Chain A
Amino acid sequence: MKDIVEIRWHGRGGQGAKTASLLLADAAFNTGKYVQGFPEYGPERMGAPITAYNRISSERSTVHSNIYFPDYVVVVDETLLSAVDVTAGLKKEGAIVINSGKSPEELRPLLKGYEGRVCTIDAGKISEEELGKNFPNTPMLAAIVKVSGVVEPDAFVKDMEASFKHKFASKPQVIEGNMRALKRSMEEVQVG
């Protein structure tokens, strides 16, 4: 059996769920994996629910369809819980990671009887405190890495640091803020 991890992202247009899925693909790629990162495209605009996907494996996956039975689901915007069936097909051995200040116990009743792990992380708060703006991407990315172990966490932290240093070479304070957000998220994610 191939070791393949499939992840589905739910967000709203403009929040960066697609970017986060591509960043996760990058991180996994950098640790030697085969990756797929792709959004489901449509006429969506700012604020409309969007979906993005990752396949991460040690052998190339040839499948080019969307993901219907994900191992993990990431919800970048808590308000989607009532609008979208986020746990559809989600494997109970997997987990759902939700951007929320609430506890897993508070959110589980909204998840249509999902039996697997429910994880929450207040990515908005972390982002506000560390970056001064609501960019939930980086903390969400860190949380799914921590929960799924799809990328080895230490390697992930090192890789992200190198990536930020490259991207924000002229703004060292942004690098530090992002790294703090990343590490906090990995520590603060609640697994219920």
Chain B
Amino acid sequence: MGIRERLSGNEAVAYAMKQINPDVMGAFPITPSTEIPQYFSTYVDNGEVDTEFIAVESEHSAMSTCIGAEAAGCRAISATSSCGLCYMTEMLYVAASDRLPITLAVSCRALSGPININNDHSDAMGVRDCGWLMLFAETNQEAYDNYLQAMRIGEAVSLPIMICQDGFITSHAIENIELVETEKVKEFVGEYKPQHFLLNKDEPMAVGAYATPVYYMEAKRQQAQAMMDAKEVIKKVGAEFAAMTGREYGLIEKYMMDDAEEAIIIIGSSAGTAKEAIQNLRAQGKKVGLIKIRSFRPFPAEDIAEALKNVKAFAAMDKDDSFNAHCGPIFAETAAALYAAGISAPKGINYIYGLGGRDVRVESIEHVFAELEKVAATGETGETYRYLDVRE
């Protein structure tokens, strides 16, 4: 039952890539994701994979390489972080609109400035509207497991997929992990058999068309449908993965939510820290819980609204800021999810936290719940747009 190992998050993702043995990797190094192509290029050099490793001169070219390769009919992968992801942005849109299921590993890192190499979600959240599927991991185990499921999901809906984890916090931390045997991985992931591809001699094909206003919106509506369809695909692939490994994955993870009166909505590694805080508070008899978003794209609006409908107060935790003088993206989308579902009873506040590697402690999360307790008791949210653990 699995292989007991201890690996960093970056090692785990590189190992998943090795087990899958994709056709092409186009990559350019950037902290903290550099280790991924570094480990992977070693596998290439040792002949452990058949992958064509294309060393490019920029992230823009890395993604362009992936687009060309995937359109040709290959499985193409890359890895990046921070400004590297920003520099890919133009091509991220092209990959999504050309409906090419590329897999991109992201070790999330803050954006300049001030210059900072540590973790937050500014990079991934900055490209959240590019049309990519986006899964986030709490642990190295989840980064690995998400990666193994990524191609199944992306290829089923013809959309590219980002597998995000927290830079340094999981990417560079050694933790226990249970690996799946390579034969099982290969069987689970399967062969890539695209319906249409450029190197098919029996079907000439053109990719990257110009669409006039008469066609553009129909193309986009179809792309939107693929994202909607992905919700069921993610659940289905998650269920198959659970049958193989015993590890369950859906769009969200609910922790101690059954009778929760106060809840936080969170994404990434800090969910684990929050679980410890919740255990401490539960031991004091407080009814607290959390919702961890695994799939940010598609956004699990219905699941979140359903999970929150009975809470008295919630805090959406954003590890980046939209700088809209209002709130971060998770709060905005959570509030929209509740409104769309006709749920108005829960009182919500928003915390911007953990920017640029600001350490998120158990005490940080306990403070959030203490504030939520006040909101629940009074029914007054006060200022909804708040910064956590910032010196006043």
Contacts and interface: CB of A to CB of B under 8 A. Distances in A.
The judgment on whether A and B are partners is yes
B117 A38 contact: no
Contacts of B166: 64
A41 B359 contact: no
A156 to B, nearest CB: 16
21 contacts: A25-B174, A29-B176, A34-B175, A35-B6, A35-B174, A36-B174, A38-B174, A41-B32, A42-B117, A60-B176, A61-B276, A62-B271, A62-B276, A63-B272, A64-B169, A64-B170, A65-B359, A65-B361, A65-B362, A65-B364, A68-B361
Given A35-B6, A41-B118, A64-B272, 8 more contacts: A25-B6, A38-B172, A41-B172, A42-B117, A62-B276, A64-B169, A65-B273, A66-B359
Nearest to A60: B176
Interface string B254-280: 000000000000000111110110000
A2 B341 CA distance: 40
Interface in A53-69: 60-66, 68
Contacts of A175: none
A151 B241 CA distance: 34
A149 B124 CA distance: 42
Contacts of A116: none
Nearest to B271: A62
Closest 10 CB pairs of A and B: A62-B272, A38-B173, A37-B174, A64-B269, A29-B6, A65-B361, A62-B275, A41-B168, A63-B276, A25-B174
Contacts of A29: 6, 176
Interface in B301-332: none
B239 interface: no
Given A41-B117, A64-B360, A66-B359, A35 B275 contact: no
Contacts of B172: 38-39, 41
Contact of B175 (A36, A66, A68): A36
A34 B175 CA distance: 7
Contacts of A36: 173-175
B173 A43 contact: no
Interface string B20-53: 0000000000001000000000000000000000
Interface residues of A, number: 21
Interface in A21-37: 22, 25-26, 29, 34-37
Contacts of A66: 359, 361
Interface of B: 6, 32, 117-118, 138-139, 166, 168-170, 172-176, 269-273, 275-276, 357, 359-362, 364
B117 A43 contact: yes
Contacts of B168: 38, 41
Contacts of A42: 117-118
B272 to A, nearest CB: 3
Contact of A62 (B118, B273, B361, B364): B273
B249 to A, nearest CB: 16
Nearest to A32: B4
B174 A63 contact: no
A35 B175 contact: yes
A34 B176 contact: yes
Nearest to B361: A65
Contacts of B169: 38, 64
Contacts of B32: 41
A108 B272 CA distance: 37
Contacts of A26: 6, 174
Nearest to A36: B175
Interface string A176-192: 00000000000000000
Nearest to A54: B174
Nearest to B140: A36
A1 to B, nearest CB: 10
A154 to B, nearest CB: 21
A171 B92 CA distance: 49
Interface in A65-100: 65-66, 68
Given A62-B276, A64-B360, A65-B362, A37 B117 contact: no
Contact of A63 (B6, B118, B176, B362): B362
Max chain B Cβ within 10 angstroms of own Cβ: one of A37, A43, A64:
A64
A64 B176 contact: no
Contacts of B362: 63, 65
Nearest to A65: B361
A57 to B, nearest CB: 10
A22 B166 CA distance: 19
Given A35-B174, A35-B176, A64 B273 contact: yes
Contacts of A34: 175-176
B270 A22 contact: no
A64 B167 CA distance: 12
Contacts of A43: 117
Nearest to B5: A29
Contacts of B361: 65-66, 68
A34 B140 CA distance: 13
A22 B360 contact: no
Contacts of A41: 32, 117-118, 168, 172, 357
B292 to A, nearest CB: 11
A37 B273 contact: no
